[in-house]
Each structure stands twice: as C-alpha cells, then as structure tokens.
Amino acid sequence: MPRDNDPLAGGPRDAPDTPRERPLPHRARPPVPRPASPTRTGAAPLPAPHPERAGPPDPSGPPALRATAAPPSAPAAPLPVSAGEPSRGYRAVFAVREFRAVFAAHLLSLLGVVVSELALTVLVYDLTASPLLSALTFALGMLPYLVGGTLFSGIADRYPARRVLVTCDLICAGCVAVMVLPGTPVAGLLVLRCLVAAVSPVFTGTRMAALADILGEDDLYVLGRSLLRIVSQSALLAGFGVGGLLLAVVSPRGAITITVVTFLCSAALLRLGTRDRPARTGGGQGATLLRESLSGARLVLGNRRIRALLLLFWLPPVFVVAPEALAAPYAEEIGAGTVALGLLMCAMPVGQIAAELYVGAVLSPRTRSRLVLPVAAVGLLPFLLYGVSPGIVPIAAALVLAGAGSAYIIGLDQWFVEAVPDELRGRAMTLLTAGLMTLQGVGMALAGLAAGFFPVHQVVAGAGALGTLCLLLLVAEVRRTAPAHRIRTEVRDGADQHMTSG
C-alpha cells in the first residue's frame, strides 16, 4: 500500500455515537443558503468572500461552492449534504476543471517517482554490484519522510499552494536530472534520492489541503481524495510494469531521463491548470519556518481528537504491510512459485481499488461515516487465516478482503478535514503523509525482524491479532473524542477542552 459531510444527524460532523449535532454556545454557525435550482434561477446574491481567502468563487468549481460563500464574519462553511443523499459519484469530481489538472499531474508525478525508484535501484546495483546498496536505495524512499514532513510542514501553510506544488515538482525534476549525469557518484545518487523523498510529504500534504479549496469540504473532497488513492494503487501496479519494460529497451539512466519529463509536465499542469490562491497563514508573525513547522505539529498532535484520527490513519498500515513485506518468504515457505508470489503482491491493491470504487460511487456520505469505525476495527481479521497456512488461493482471497477493509478511509477523510482548522490544514496533511509512510517502513522492518524468529505464517497471523486488539482500543478513543466540529472550534480559539498531556 502506498503511501493519501453532513452536518445533520448521523453525519461525520457529529460523533459516530452522538445522535444529533449540539449548537456551540460561543460561536454561532451562520446559515448556509442552498441554490434554488441547478440553473440558480432566483438564487440569492452571493455574499462577500471570506477576507482570509479573498477572491471570487471558482467558476469551474462544484455547484455548492459556486452557489454560496461564507459571510465575512465567519469561517467559510461548505454547503450541507443530506445525510441520506446518495453519493454524487466520481463524475461530479471530474466536472471540476482544476481537479482534472491536479489528477493528471498526480498521475504523471507518481509514475515518475515509481519508475525513477526502480531505475535508480538498478543503476546503483550496476555501479556497485552491492545488493545492500541497491536495497538501501529503495529504502531511502521512506526514511526521509519523517524529517521532511516534520521540519518542512510549515511550507504547506506559509506559501500559496500552487507555488509550493510547482516548486516541489521542479526540485524533483532537478534532482532526477542530476542523477542522469554520468559523473554523479553513488553517494550523490543516494543524497539526491533522500532529497526527493524529503520533498514528497510537503508536496502531498499541500495537495491534500488544496483539494479542500478546489472541491470544498463536503462529499466532492472525499471523492477527490479517493480518486487520488485509487490512482496511487493503480500506478504502483502499472508503474513497476512500465519501469520493467523501459529497462528492457533503454538503460537505467535513459529511464530516469524520461521521469524528468513527467515531473516537468506535472509542474506545467499545476501552474496552468489551478488558481493562484493566497497562503493560509501570514508566516506566523515572523516565526522561522522550522519553528512554524514544529509548532504546527505540536498543535495537531496535542489535540486529542485530531491525534486519534491521525492514529486511525497510521495504525492499520503498520500491520497491513506484514503480508506484503513477507510475500516472498511465505511463497517459499509453502513451496509456491513466482506466479503465486505475483498473485499475493497484487491481491490487496485489487481489493482496495474495487472496494473504494464501490464505496465512493454507490454509498451515501452518511453510510460511509457509519462504516468507518466498525470496518477499521475488523479490517485485519482476514490475516488470521495465515495461522492455518491453507495455501495460495484462500490466502489471496483473504488479502483481497483485507484490502477492501481499507475503504473506511473514505469516511475518515471527511472527519479529518472537518476536525482540522483551515490555518493548520496544510501542516496537518503533511504530517499525516509523513507519519503514514514512516510507520509503514517501521511495520515492514518489524515484520522482517519477527520472521527471523517465527515462521512467516505465524508472523502475519500475529500481526492480524495484535493489530485488531490495538484498533479496538483506538476505535474507543475516537468515539470518546467526537464530535469533530467542537474540536475544530476549540482549536481555533486556542482553548481545546479535549486536550490531554499525552
């Protein structure tokens, strides 16, 4: 696995176990008008834009954003969606011009990353004949995420999103271009690999935060995030295949050269296809970037509700990566061949893509919200089948089911974007990405370490059992911290009554 709204009763703005929304005594929530009809005949005149996000509503944006804007005296609020209303579907997301540009740029950038990783690993092995350095080259794709996501997260809120995204793509293109030079030593290749990985969480976090500006905070945002995840899973499967074909006809440096073009095309799409919106913050009244990044991390992690939601993103992948990391040893343990190994590696992504398409296209926002906690709690149970080591076909079916369990993230996306205040959104999304990638790397390392002492099938089954126990405890914590809208207001006021010392 790689690694990224209904205010009525039962929607994700409420607690999953809270029957109805309670009014906030200290911050009135302005009424949000609905458009009179799809043609806006007789619609009320547009209020003035929010002073912090100046500029007219995007004419290419979703209807909810074109028809309404928040009054100057209150934070912008998305148009409510009926809890029982069916999903508007992915077609509505693609109707937004800016999202089409972001989607195409994401696809190009992701393919560039995957192909460059594969080609660089082969290049380092050709230069050194060292399996250790070759493996280290691949591992360096995860290690710098924590550093980049923590120390540079302030960039996502400090500067305009379009500028940050284009700059990140240009930095990656420049690093990859230097890798192509024949005189670049192996040490230089590894340093450049680390730099690209450190930039990645800033790029991803900024893009996730920008999606809320482009699509709003309601169902369209959730579906947009879902589409980017589906592309990520699909590009991983296709990217390694494309990379393998490229390496069969061109040299590793030639394959890396092609990825320079993908990064430059991504930068051009983002520059020309998205609006130039102002930064979310004014630079923290003279605070340095490092201080602003660390203070944002403290605010995000210090809030009990946001911390619980972050853990619900982070914790399952720690255990989910166990069967992926140990697929080759497991295939060897049961005497299966390379075809079976490929089946094991593809099973979970296939389950995730199929389930996410179904949940996003068919289920209503209210249903998605209700599925988050129960599905997250039982999503690792299919791994218990490894305990009896039944063979490839049952295990592949269990992996497909486990992949389908990750569809709970669609509803969780909505909870998270509503819980995080706008001025912290870029840093929170960057931190989310950094933690996700880092903890997946930790999970792979722990799975490999455990497999040195126990049979592989027992390690995967144990990961399923231990992960389920941890998730049951975390689900209880998420329930206790709801409702999300109260946390949002309290964080903005600097008086979070749900904050703990831990």
Instruction: Assess contact for 142 and 318: CB atoms under 8 A.
Output: no
The per-residue pLDDT for range 177-217, each reduced to its tens digit, is 998 888 888 888 888 888 888 888 889 888 988 888 898 87
Residue 86 clears pLDDT 90, i.e. is over it: no
Helices (H) and strands (E) in the chain, counts: 20, 0
pLDDT value at residue 312: 94
The per-residue pLDDT for range 427-442, each reduced to its tens digit, is 888 889 888 888 888 8
| Matching residue, tokens 């589906």 | 230
The per-residue pLDDT for range 10-60, each reduced to its tens digit, is 333 333 333 333 333 333 344 444 444 343 333 333 333 333 343 333 434
Going 77 to 82 to 87 to 88, the CA torsion angle's sign is negative
| Matching residue, tokens 């990217």 | 239
How far apart, in whole angstroms, are the C-alpha atoms of residue 226 and residue 232?
10
C-alpha separations of 363 from 7, 90, 122, 167, 370 in Å: 17, 12, 43, 37, 11
For Cα atoms 276, 105, 107, give the angle at the middle one, nearest 5 degrees. Answer: 155
Rounded mean pLDDT, 330-359 = 83
Confidence bin at 252 (pLDDT 50/70/90) = confident
Q: How many CB atoms lie within 10 A of CB 261?
A: 13
pLDDT value at residue 58: 40
Q: How many CA atoms lie within 13 A of 447 on its CB side?
A: 30
Rounded to 10°, the helix 219-249/409-419 angle is 120
pLDDT value at residue 283: 56
Tokens representing residue 448 in the block: 């490999």
Instruction: Assess contact for 460 and 330: CB atoms under 8 A.
Output: yes
Question: Taking the model in full, what pTM does it have?
Answer: 0.69
Q: How many CA atoms lie within 13 A of 70 on its CB side?
A: 18
Instruction: Assess contact for 442 and 3: CB atoms under 8 A.
Output: no
Rounded mean pLDDT, 306-331 = 89
| Matching residue, tokens 């997301």 | 93
What are the helix (H) ranges across 3-74? 63-67
pLDDT value at residue 7: 33
Structure letter (DSSP) for residue 497: T
Closest to 462 in 3D by CA, of 377, 386, 374, 406: 386
Tokens representing residue 174 in the block: 């420049």
Tokens representing residue 74 in the block: 């209150």
Rounded mean pLDDT, 360-388 = 91
Instruction: Assess contact for 35 and 43: CB atoms under 8 A.
Output: yes
